[in-house]
Amino acid sequence: MNCKNLNRAIVMLWVGDSEKAKEDAKECMNSLKEEINNLRSLIKEAKMEAENEYLLPKTLREKRLNPEDLIKVAMYELSRRIYLFSGNTKSKERSGIIYLWLDLGVKKILRGYCEDCYGYISTLLGSGFVVMVDGVIYAEFLGTDENKAVESVLEAIKGHRKNK
pLDDT, averaged per 10 consecutive residues of the chain (164 residues), comes to: 82 85 90 91 92 91 92 93 81 91 92 92 92 95 90 91 76
Q: What is the pTM assigned to this prediction?
A: 0.77
Q: How many CA atoms lie within 13 A of 20 on its CB side?
A: 16
Query: Do 39 and 103 reside in the same domain of the chain?
Result: no
CA dist., res. 104 & res. 28, Å (int): 34
Query: Do 57 and 33 reside in the same domain of the chain?
Result: yes
The answer to whether residues 6 and 79 touch, using CB atoms and an 8 Å cutoff, is yes
* pLDDT at 18 (0 to 100): 83
Nearest to 82 by CA among 29, 37, 127: 29
Query: Do 79 and 97 reside in the same domain of the chain?
Result: no
CA dist., res. 82 & res. 60, Å (int): 27
Range of the domain at 79: 6-85
Q: How many domains would you assign to the chain?
A: 2
Is 126 part of any domain?
yes
Q: With residue 112 as reference, give the H or E element that holds it.
A: strand 107-114
Query: Do 24 and 71 reside in the same domain of the chain?
Result: yes
Is 29 part of any domain?
yes
